[in-house]
Every structure is written in C-alpha cells, then in structure tokens.
C-alpha cells in the first residue's frame, strides 16, 4: 500500500519507511548482491511527465549507496507509453518486449555486474525483458525488486524480500 501511495499518490512521506524496509531486507540477503552499476527500470516519458519522477530510480539511489555502485538511469530506455497495469501475463510479456530498449549509455554495462532494480515484480515480464537487453550488451545481471504482487489479491502490493535474479 505504501508503494502505491508513493507511485500513484506522490506521497513522499512514505519514502523513508519504504527505503528502511528495503535496505533491511537487502542486508539480510546472503550474500548482498555485488554490483558495478545499479540500473533502475525506466518509465515512459508520459509516465515521467504524469508522475513527475521515476519511483524505481528514486528507490535505486539508496540501494546504490548500500552496494557501493553508481545508479545509471540512462542505460535502458522506455520506448512505449503503454502501462503494464491491468494487462495479463501474455500481454505484459508482449508489451514489455516492445516497450524497453537500450539507452544512450548502454555501452557502460559491457563486462559489468549490473543490479537491475524495479519497484514491483508482477509477472516478471519487465525484468526479464530488461535483463535480456543488458545481457545482450555483455553484462551479468542480478535483479532486485521492492515489492511483489500478492497472488491472492491482484491489486494489493506487499513489501517483501527483494526478488533476486536467480529466482526468475
């Protein structure tokens, strides 16, 4: 619920508690993922204009400090404006494949350990697509997310242990 308030309600008062929970969960991972670069999943220009910020990028900043890696916001790009919200598994996969691409600084990932960060894991279509792009440019990729959609309630988001790349 707090993540939804930040993402859709611009309630920045929930940011610090979200970050605290996220960092505590990441510190509990064995081992904490090593990274040379942290890459947040990008939002579309329309989403950025409408929301005013990229919630994944905002949340990736403290993650980058924790793992000692810079956050690179322009490694991936968002080509499409269609949101994943309300789409089923097959539609999400199709939409993700057509919506994400390499960004202007994609060359920076070659030979690097990239920690891909997304705010919510629903079906995995977004992170699978983005990880595939990064890997095709020579990166090794781990994935962390702040929340995962609760299967029993399609619209409820829970703060959960972050999802790691090998769990995909």
Segments making up each domain of the chain, as ranges: 2-167
| Overall pTM > 0.85 | no
Shortest CA distance to 104 belongs to which of 141, 137, 77? 77
pLDDT in tens, 16-59: 777 777 777 777 777 777 899 999 999 877 767 777 778 888 88
Indicate the angle between helix axes 125-136 and 89-99, nearest 10 degrees. 30
**What stretches of 49-167 adopt beta strand conformation (E)?**
76-78, 100-102, 113-121, 140-149, 157-159
Residue 29 and residue 82: Cα distance in Å, rounded?
34
pLDDT in tens, 65-92: 888 999 999 999 887 665 656 666 667 6
Residue 143 and residue 114: Cα distance in Å, rounded?
8
- In a 3-state reduction of DSSP, which class is residue 76? strand
pLDDT in tens, 109-144: 999 999 999 887 877 888 888 999 999 999 999 998
Asked if CATH classification 3.40.50.2020 holds for the domain at 2-167, the reply, yes or no, is yes
């Amino acid at each position: 619920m707090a993540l939804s308030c930040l993402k859709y309600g611009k309630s920045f008062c929930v940011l610090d508690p979200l970050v605290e929970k996220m960092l505590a969960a990441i510190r509990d991972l064995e081992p904490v993922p090593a990274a040379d670069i942290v890459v947040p999943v990008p939002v579309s220009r329309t989403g950025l204009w409408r929301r005013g910020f990229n919630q994944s990028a905002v949340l990736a900043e403290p993650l980058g400090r924790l793992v000692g890696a810079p956050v690179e916001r322009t490694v991936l790009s968002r080509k499409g404006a269609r949101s994943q919200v309300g789409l089923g598994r097959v539609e999400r996969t199709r939409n993700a494949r057509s919506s994400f691409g390499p960004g202007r600084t994609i060359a920076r990932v070659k030979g690097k350990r990239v920690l891909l960060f997304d705010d919510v894991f629903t079906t995995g279509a977004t992170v699978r697509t983005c990880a595939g792009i990064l890997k095709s440019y020579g990166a090794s990729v781990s994935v962390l997310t702040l929340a995962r959609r609760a299967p029993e309630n399609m619209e409820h988001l829970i703060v959960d242990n972050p999802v790691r790349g090998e769990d995909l």
